[in-house]
Amino acid sequence: MPAAEIFIQATETDPDVIARGVVREAHARLRFGLAELAATQPVVDGDPPRSAELVDFCLREVRRYLVTADQDLYMPASGDDETRLLVDALRVGAANLDAQIDQLAAAEPVDAARLGVTITAALDLHLQIEESVLLPALAGLPGVDPSLLAANLRAYLAREQVEQPTIIDVRNIARGGRHPRVFARYARLAPGEAFILVNNHDPKPLRREFEAVHRGAFSWDYLQTGPGEWRVRIGRLAADA
């Protein structure tokens, strides 16, 4: 093993320990920010500055974390039978938090404190599950590289831009136009890039077409497998021959 890759397991040089530290640092930022902003207090008429700050924090920090955690933590665990149901539950929780943030953004200042407390409690439970259940499970999954596990979360902590895959939701596209739209998007991918397909059923026929046309050049990773919604990450591995 090259010297740069040598580490002592279960110490500060262990990539798994480092990744867990990054996740917990991100959790601490969220908890501290919400604790500061979501505390109940009287709203002064015509002057709701803390309500505005709370909305901004949820839109900017909480939502960005949820997207980043899906990429760094949920996606690696979504393909394993032992963790798939856990990931599905966490994604449902993230969707509920996202909906609550929408309610907060549209709320009157007098309701913001109540919604802030609700979001704080829901997020805290969500983060506890990540820490106590998901992280230990990820450590035991084959094929999960701990050194890459929290790459986007490091960018999140550094307030750097985190690249998000394009999402193509074909549920509202007429049936004859779905596959051409997906293949056109794939054609624009550079090697290593990907997009996420959303559908209301398992897109097995589309996968067969990819196998026929782009065999060996694409990746196909299920992120969500029903019952009402399927999400597949489709990537380009290399230039087609």
Closest CA to 75 of 143, 172, 126, 129: 143
pLDDT at 3: 39
pLDDT at 8: 42
pLDDT at 50: 62
Establish if 241 belongs to a structural domain: no
164 within 8 A of 37, measured Cβ to Cβ: no
Mean pLDDT, residues 17-37: 90
- 151 lies in the same domain as 191: no
CA 217 vs. chain centroid, Å, equals 25
Band (210; pLDDT cuts 50, 70, 90): very high
Q: How many domains does the chain have?
A: 2
pLDDT digits (tens, 9 = 90+) for 136-182: 998 888 767 666 677 778 888 887 766 566 788 888 777 788 888 88
- 61 lies in the same domain as 146: yes
Establish if 1 belongs to a structural domain: no
How many CB atoms neighbour CB 112 within 10 A? Answer: 24
Phi, psi (deg, nearest 5) at residue 217: -110, 0
- 16 lies in the same domain as 73: yes
Closest CA to 148 of 212, 225, 216, 71: 71
Average pLDDT, the chain: 81
How many CB atoms neighbour CB 32 within 10 A? Answer: 10
- 152 lies in the same domain as 171: no
pLDDT digits (tens, 9 = 90+) for 92-139: 898 889 889 989 988 887 788 889 999 999 999 999 999 999 999 988
Establish if 91 belongs to a structural domain: yes
Instruction: Please give the residue range of the domain that contains residue 181.
Output: 166-236
70 within 8 A of 94, measured Cβ to Cβ: yes
71 within 8 A of 154, measured Cβ to Cβ: no
**Which residue did the predictor score with more confidence, 237 or 151?**
237
pLDDT at 12: 54
What is the model's pTM? 0.64
